[in-house]
Amino acid sequence: MNEETVAKKRSWRPSRRGLGLLGAGVFLLASLAAGYTGSWIQNRNGGELSTSTQKQVISSESNLISQIAKDVGPSVVSVNVTSAAAASAEDSFFGRSLGEAESAGTGFIVSADGVIVTNRHVVPAGTTKVNVVLSDGTKLTNVSVIGRTNDSDSLDIAFLKVNDKQGKTLTPAKLGDSSKMQVGDKVVAIGNALGQFQNTVTSGIISGYGRDVEAGDSSGSGVTEQLQDLFQTDAAINQGNSGGPLVNINGEVIGINTAVAGDAQNIGFSIPINDVTSMIKSVLAKGKLERPYLGVRYISITDDYATTKNLPTKRGAFVLDSADSVVAGSPAASAGIKPGDIITKVNGKTIDENNSLSTVLGRLSVDEKVTLTIIRDGKTQDISVTLAAAPQS
């Protein structure tokens, strides 16, 4: 069992197929210069921006986005999936043959030998066949699923491997530092919109961060996923865009697009790349997916929860007061974590609304020894824990 937050969030519909982003800083200086010039001229003209200056600013931004698309595009792939169709109760009773279902998403290349990152829901359990289409239209059919995070994992991530490149050169995407992104920063997304419009480019800004949502399949299956610590963006993300990169103006991947608000416009969510970096390194080094695992069921503490439970702190991870909240045989159990403990820090990193326990642990490595700061019976103490690999689903 993975760490999972029990608190329910407002339901959002995930973009159940893939998307991507591109970026380059070639035109950044020109863009900034145009912006500064426009502001200077605007002040000189009593606050009115001349038509020629407006055109210059618009042109500079368009050139920047165009260059991002050209630079990052070769790293973005469309992911086509064949899987066993889900069985209904009636089908199962009568023994009917269900056949196969087809879906599509997006991914991005992280190594020249063909490792690709996408979303778990793009290649779900039951996937029987995967192929990817490169930006130049080349279809690569010998593709396997290296691994995917557990369904209860707050990180909706899977890894693919191209086993036969057919003589093609694969271009890895550049990974950025998502912790440097601020609200209002420009971002670009590229993806397989609606599963048929390959390498669609959209742009927008970071609208917020630290978002927690409950994402449900747009098919109405009733299956939901708890997703945590996400970027919110107004860059258009559509069905088919899941698994693609969100990119900054330097052409670096800073997020992985994973969900959209089904009843709103221009509200999309992306997993910060820093939450996935350790997994990427592990896959590239070991050829398999290993997720750091503690083994507790908890709820993220809010002001209301702290008041209701009369807790000594308003932030942290409250280990549920139940017999199964600390998984038997897990690192948490071996370290002596108990139901009712409050984990407030991991290696000095505070657990709060912007950094959930699972998010902080996800940035660490399997077999890494960490120090948990906990509150037990009103007293603060440090406990040493060695993280293990999460059980596979």
Q: What is the CATH number of the domain that holds 363?
A: 2.30.42.10
- Which class for 367: exposed (0-12), middle (13-18), buried (19 or more C-beta within 10 A)? exposed
pTM: 0.74
Residue carrying the six token digits 């930006």? 135
| Residue of 156, 212, 229, 275 marked active site | 156
What are the backbone dihedrals phi and psi of residue 34, each rounded to the nearest 5 degrees, phi first? Answer: -60, -40
Examine the residue annotation and report whether 282 is marked as an active-site residue of this protein: no
Residue 1 lies in a domain: no
| Residue of 15, 75, 121, 212 marked active site | 121
- Which class for 204: exposed (0-12), middle (13-18), buried (19 or more C-beta within 10 A)? middle
Examine the residue annotation and report whether 154 is marked as an active-site residue of this protein: no
Distance CA 194, CA 78 (A): 11
Give residue 83's pLDDT.
Answer: 84
Examine the residue annotation and report whether 242 is marked as an active-site residue of this protein: yes
| Residue of 75, 203, 207, 242 marked active site | 242
Among the listed residues 210, 217, 264, 269, the one whose alpha carbon sits nearest the alpha carbon of residue 244: 269
Q: What is the dihedral of CA 340, 354, 260, 79, to 10 degrees?
A: -90
> Which of the listed residues 246, 274, 289 is the one where a domain comes to its end?
289
Give residue 96's pLDDT.
Answer: 52
Distance CA 320, CA 217 (A): 28
User: In what helix (H) or strand (E) does residue 300 lie, and over which residues does it extend?
Assistant: strand 297-300
Task: Let me know whether 317 and 366 are in one domain.
Answer: yes
> Which of the listed residues 227, 260, 289 is the one where a domain comes to its end?
289
> Which of the listed residues 268, 289, 310 is the one where a domain comes to its end?
289
**Segments of the chain scoring below 70 in pLDDT:** 1-59, 86-99, 193-197, 215-225, 262-265, 392-393
Among the listed residues 262, 267, 245, the one whose alpha carbon sits nearest the alpha carbon of residue 187: 245
Query: Which domain, by its residues, includes 319?
Result: 292-389
Residue carrying the six token digits 């398999």? 288
Give residue 90's pLDDT.
Answer: 55
Residue 2 lies in a domain: no
Residue 178 lies in a domain: yes
Residue 222: both structure tokens together: 């009733």
Count of structural domains within the chain: 3
